[in-house]
Amino acid sequence: MTQIKAQPARLKTKLIMCLLLCGTLISHLCNASPVPKVAAGELVRLDKLDFGDIQARPVDVWLPPNYLSQPNTRFDVLYVHDGQMQFDASVSWNRQAWELDDTAIELMESGKVRPFIVVAIHNTEALRHSEYFPQKPFKSLPNATQTKLLEAERSAGVKLFAAPLYSDLYLDFIVRRLKPYIDQHFRVNTTAEHTFIMGSSMGGLISMYAALEYPDVFGAAACLSTHWPGVFSEPDNPLPAAFADYLGSKLSPTSKTRLYFDHGDATLDALYPPLQAQMDNSMRKSGYPETLWESRYFKGADHTETAWAERLAIPLQFLLSSH
């Protein structure tokens, strides 16, 4: 069982997490979660990770066929959130998946992207919002606003945030524990220009946050259907402005990090067109070089894994283009 290491400076967070990190739940998440099937290549479930201060969960590494057939080649690395939704619809909660392995194989075989492996980090279901919500933009809000948002409900009696935000701890795990493990145990390129991060919805928010908090680690991020509202129903929602301010503060004419954003206009994505325009405007005002970012609109696209799978080749080529 993964041990939780107490640190006095983080006592409040530790006390909360200790209530959530019972041994039974950790064992269930790590051992009972089905291993996805992939179209080709090999899927390796990591079972010796140190999760530090966050809840243990499955982490799957997909190795494409050319990783196995080209032992002298080093591969780029793509970290993805919501790992249980990436490869196999038969084991996902809604029977949909990104089919990431299929698209990746097609792009590599056609020479459109550089060879890469995928590190798929599963989410922890109820704690997903607390893990994926960018902490610094949230903390920039007045205390009373933070408290109100933390009490927001996803549905009657069910809070949106199952715990106080700890996305900084989640990113610390990826950068200081998971990435060193991947770099040591797999045949990969380790520098930022070969290391990328990607997600959708809340996973889009945390991917943006990771790339801007750790520009020396991640050279680029792809953020699909980024959930700029942050919550689902909040009158006079202050969060989009906080995200726009954060982008403006982190980006400048000298920025090197590449960012990809996209959105549709159906189901939950119907909220996004004006908000993405607000973020695009903030990036332009910061002087962020337009050669480094893309913002795409897919008319009629909804907020589903099926929709993201249909356009997945576009962000993958943005991240990993061989040209």
Output 244 or 95, whichever has higher pLDDT: 244
Q: Which two tokens stand for residue 266?
A: 């159906």
d(CA 213, CA 230): 18
pLDDT of residue 3: 30
The answer on pLDDT for 30 being more than 60 is: no
Average pLDDT over residues 48-76: 95
Over the chain, what is the mean pLDDT? 90
Residue 220, H or E segment? strand 220-224
Q: Which residue, 290, 236, 238, 299, is CA-closest to 263? A: 299
Local structure of residue 36 (DSSP, 8 states): P
Residue for token pair 């959930």:
227
- Going from the C-alpha of 236 to that of each of 155, 231, 269, 318, the distances in angstroms are 19, 12, 19, 34
Q: Which two tokens stand for residue 149?
A: 């948002």
CB 248 within 8 A of CB 284: no
Domains of the chain and any CATH numbers: 8-320 (3.40.50.1820)
- Whole-model pTM: value is 0.90
pLDDT of residue 29: 44
Concatenated DSSP letters of 184-215:
HHS-B--SGGGEEEEEETHHHHHHHHHHHH-T
Average pLDDT over residues 105-132: 97
pLDDT of residue 93: 81
pLDDT of residue 156: 81
pLDDT of residue 109: 96
Q: Which residue, 36, 107, 33, is CA-closest to 76? A: 107
Percentage of the chain exceeding pLDDT 70: 90
pLDDT digits (tens, 9 = 90+) for 146-173: 999 999 888 888 899 999 999 999 999 9
- How many whole angstroms from its chain centre is CA 103? 18
CB 205 within 8 A of CB 226: yes
pLDDT of residue 5: 37
- Going from the C-alpha of 220 to that of each of 12, 49, 122, 242, the distances in angstroms are 33, 25, 20, 22
pLDDT digits (tens, 9 = 90+) for 135-148: 999 999 999 999 99
Half-sphere exposure of 120 (CA within 13 A, CB side): 26
d(CA 292, CA 83): 26
The answer on pLDDT for 38 being more than 70 is: yes
